[in-house]
Amino acid sequence: MTAQPKTTSAVDASVPVLDDVDPFDEEVLAGPHHMHSIIRDAGDLVYLAQHDIYAVARYSPVRETLENWQDFSSAAGAGLANFRYEEPWRPPSLLLEADPPHHDAPRSVLQKILGPRRIRAFEDEWDRTANQLVDCLLEYGERDENSAVVIDAVPSIAEPFPLSVFPEALGLSGEGLDNLLPYGNFAFNAFGPRNRLVTEAQKTIGPVMEWVGEQCPRHALTESGLGADIWAASDDTDITEAQAPLIVRSLLTAGVDTTVYGIAAVLYHLADNPDQYQRLRDEPELIRAAIEESLRLESPVQTFFRTTTRDVPISGHVIPEGKKVLMFLGAANRDPRRWANPDEFDLGRDPSGHVAFGSGIHQCVGQHVARFEAASLLQALVPKIERIEFSTAPERKINNTLLGWKTLPLRLIPA
């Protein structure tokens, strides 16, 4: 990577300037909610001097920025790096880091391939896998003196379930699936600055990147998976043969980590709110609501960037052309201007409208996959587990873009 020229522009005097707020400080990454409230309280638009960037954290300006791709471009990178000045560490994503018209064909192809109708073909198999996982934990898991199953839910549930179902659905076969988690972790760290989280991982990420690249060609994928569907679209000239492996790579980048974080978030909030878990057991039709409320409250993807294509007015201020704008998706989803009691996990809430998956033309195209996976797991777990409790305090996993758990020690009390 080459360093971006320092191009600090004169800041609109009406824009609140926050000199001492660094969203990529590791303590902040471990617990960003206090910082989010500071930025929201400061105004619709703020300037973060430490990184020479603008930022939006209130719900309305975040959603408006997400949906206005004409003024807030993704083509200069969805991270802090500005592709106008810096060479990306890998070819830009055809989905996250492209605008129309270059974005249109890959997006259209994946919307069909990852739509609910296609994903439902995997539902029975995913349900079976989820039930096998829960049954195995109940039968063979470590028990405490009160016969509760004691687990760390991250390596026992949140990681193995997506790794068991999504790579197979995509068409991966053989060994090496353990590369997907460090690859996704590095990719999302790389959206931030070149801090310790990036530079330390660069020392070992080379073989992982090589393995990921080897999974993207047509010959590496099974004939009945989603990857084969992508390559078939290149035969129909919906996309080019050069685009097909890049689209497969996009799914390998974002198709596992975010679901792992989302599943862990659901389990955390169910353990943290025993009354809500009991309600879920009484009303299992609320499983989808539990997933959406967890996504709102603890958005796995916390931030993304856009770059202004012109001098853009926003909320009475002006952002100069060519400036990076940081969108705090997680902060928007807890904005009290949009949500009543936003920090509470409430199955009676209508969480629709949250921006955990983004919004507009760059909204997460794989969101149906994540929802189906989480639903399969909860449908297997809720009837068999009477209570979920913390055994010890969980520990955050630190990432420049994602918010999730490194450890989630739980006690599962069988029904």
Residue % of the chain over a pLDDT of 90: 93
Question: So what's the pLDDT on residue 10?
Answer: 65
What is the reported pLDDT for 91? 86
Helices (H), 283-384: 287-297, 329-332, 367-381
Query: What is the predicted pLDDT for the residue at 3?
Result: 36
The helix-helix angle for 226-235 and 243-254 (nearest 10°) equals 160
Distances (CA, A) of 78 to 306, 325, 363: 6, 10, 13
Residue 2's pLDDT band (boundaries 50, 70, 90)?
very low
Token pair recorded at residue 298: 């603890």
Identify the pLDDT of residue 9. Answer: 57
- Once rounded to an integer, what is the mean pLDDT over residues 168-173? 95
DSSP of 212-225:
HHHTSSGGGS-TTS
In this prediction, residue 329 carries a pLDDT of 98
Sign of torsion over alpha carbons 376, 379, 382, 385? negative
Tell me what pLDDT residue 359 has: 97
CA distance 52 to 175: 43
Angle at 178 between CA 137 and CA 300, to 5 degrees: 75
- Here the contacts of 37-40 (C-beta below 8 Å, separation 24 or greater) are 37/331, 39/328, 39/331, 40/331, 40/335, 40/337
Torsion sign over Cα 231, 234, 239, 240: positive
Summarised one tens digit per residue, pLDDT across range 107-159 is 999 999 999 999 999 999 999 999 999 999 999 999 999 999 999 999 999 99
The pLDDT score that the predictor gives to residue 12 is: 82
Say how many C-beta atoms besides its own lie within 10 A of residue 35's C-beta.
20
State the Cα–Cα distance between residues 46 and 208, nearest whole angstrom.
38
Residue 302 has pLDDT above 50, yes or no: yes
Per-residue model confidence as pLDDT tens digits over 174-183: 899 999 999 9
What tokens were used for 7? Answer: 């191009």
Whether the per-residue pLDDT at 396 is higher than 50: the answer is yes
pLDDT > 90? residue 189: yes
Q: Residue 414 in 3-state DSSP?
A: strand
Q: What integer pLDDT is reported at residue 218 of this predicted model?
A: 97
pLDDT above 50 for 6: no
Of 58-62, 157-161, 249-253, the range with the lowest mean pLDDT is 249-253
Supply the pLDDT for residue 215: 97
If you average pLDDT over every residue of the chain, what do you get? 95
Global confidence as pTM: 0.95
pLDDT in tens, 66-112: 999 999 999 999 999 999 888 888 889 999 999 999 999 999 999 99
The per-residue pLDDT for 1 is 37
Q: Which amino acid is at 44?
A: D
Domains and CATH numbers, the chain: 17-414 (1.10.630.10)
Confidence band, pLDDT 50/70/90 cuts, at residue 167: very high
| pLDDT tens-digit map of 304-348 | 999 999 999 999 999 999 999 999 999 999 999 999 999 999 999
Q: How far apart are CA 11 and CA 14, in angstroms?
A: 8
